[in-house]
């Protein structure tokens, strides 16, 4: 087997330190194995399917993005509004016993989609999607995802929108939406092994806390260090970095380390796509 394929697995294995440190913290807190095993199982399935996807024939995929993709992505982001609220919050699709935190899966795909539109000079389409999705996130409401997405899309807009006034107006709108999202921050209580997992790691001692921070930094390597697709990879890296940072300021899930299969799926999708682009 070509060593290139095995190198493609490196980003997946960079997830393991964060996953295992999260599991150790959960076990120390008394979390049932039925909970923390889900992260490990999704990682295993995602790695297997990602490897299969990366090793299939090198057909050329479209990099244009289209209206149908936009409709599907926007519909999926709207979909939590159709389900019953949890303490006034619409963030999940409730499918029987499974709750899917849809934004954490779809927003990385949205960043990739907006980048495709931008490199093909669909400027008004890019701005329309950006404005619409950020407004929808205000109704979830989700200040963490709103802030992370806003920062990621701002990079694409700054680099790819040619009209200076249009660019500045859109960026001003993005900043305003982020500010509004934090003014009307939800009061949903955090779950220690989801939103506050890094604090559980800190409770294990300074060494574990240092290793935990280092493991989270490793999650950014595929986007900021290894990638050749610079603008979109930087945007995805910033998205995940902001999702880590906002956990210190509100009750938002820590990706990969904390319990929650949806953020893990979103991260797996992102590194699979970036790895495919690099090849």
| CA–CA separation, 88 and 81 (whole Å) | 11
Check pLDDT > 60 for residue 77. yes
**Of residues 62 and 81, which shows the higher confidence score?**
81
The mean pLDDT value for 35-40 works out to 90
Q: What are the helix (H) ranges across the chain?
A: 3-7, 10-13, 16-28, 33-55, 67-78, 102-119, 123-139, 143-160, 164-183, 197-203, 206-218, 221-224, 230-245, 261-278
**Strands 92-95 and 98-101, how do they pair?**
antiparallel
Check pLDDT > 80 for residue 165. yes
Q: Which of 93-102, 155-164, 239-248, 262-271 has the lowest mean pLDDT?
A: 93-102
Q: How many residues does the chain have?
A: 279
189 Cβ contact list (under 8 Å, min separation 6): 251
Check pLDDT > 80 for residue 266. yes
**Of residues 117 and 1, which shows the higher confidence score?**
117
Backbone CA torsion sign across 264, 269, 275, 277: negative
The per-residue pLDDT for 229 is: 60
Tens-place pLDDT, residues 204-238: 999 999 999 999 999 999 998 766 668 899 999 99
The mean pLDDT value for 71-76 works out to 92
Tens-place pLDDT, residues 6-32: 677 888 999 999 999 999 999 998 888
> What is the pLDDT of the chain when averaged over all its residues?
87
């Amino acid at each position: 087997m070509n060593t290139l394929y095995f190198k493609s697995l490196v980003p997946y294995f960079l997830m393991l330190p964060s996953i295992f440190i999260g599991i150790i913290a959960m076990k120390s807190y008394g979390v049932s194995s039925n909970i923390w095993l889900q992260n490990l199982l999704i990682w295993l399935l995602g790695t297997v399917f990602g490897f299969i996807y990366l090793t299939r024939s090198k057909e050329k995929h479209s990099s244009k993005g289209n209206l149908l993709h936009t409709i599907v992505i926007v519909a999926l982001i709207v979909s939590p509004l159709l389900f019953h609220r949890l303490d006034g919050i619409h963030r999940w699709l409730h499918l029987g016993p499974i709750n899917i935190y849809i934004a954490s899966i779809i927003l990385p795909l949205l960043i990739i989609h907006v980048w495709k539109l931008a490199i093909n000079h669909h400027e008004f389409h890019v701005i329309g999607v950006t404005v619409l999705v950020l407004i929808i996130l205000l109704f979830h409401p989700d200040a963490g995802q709103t802030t992370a997405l806003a920062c990621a899309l701002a990079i694409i807009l700054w680099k790819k929108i040619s009209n200076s006034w249009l660019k500045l107006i859109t960026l001003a709108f993005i900043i305003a939406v982020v500010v509004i999202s934090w003014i009307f921050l939800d009061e949903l209580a955090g779950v220690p092994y989801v939103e506050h997992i890094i604090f559980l790691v800190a409770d294990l001692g300074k060494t574990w806390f240092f290793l935990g921070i280092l493991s989270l930094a490793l999650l950014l390597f595929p986007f900021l260090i290894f990638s050749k697709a610079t603008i979109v990879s930087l945007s995805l890296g910033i998205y995940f970095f902001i999702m880590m940072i906002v956990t210190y300021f509100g009750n938002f899930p820590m990706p990969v380390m904390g319990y929650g299969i949806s953020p893990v799926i979103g991260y797996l999708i992102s590194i699979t796509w970036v790895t495919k682009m690099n090849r």
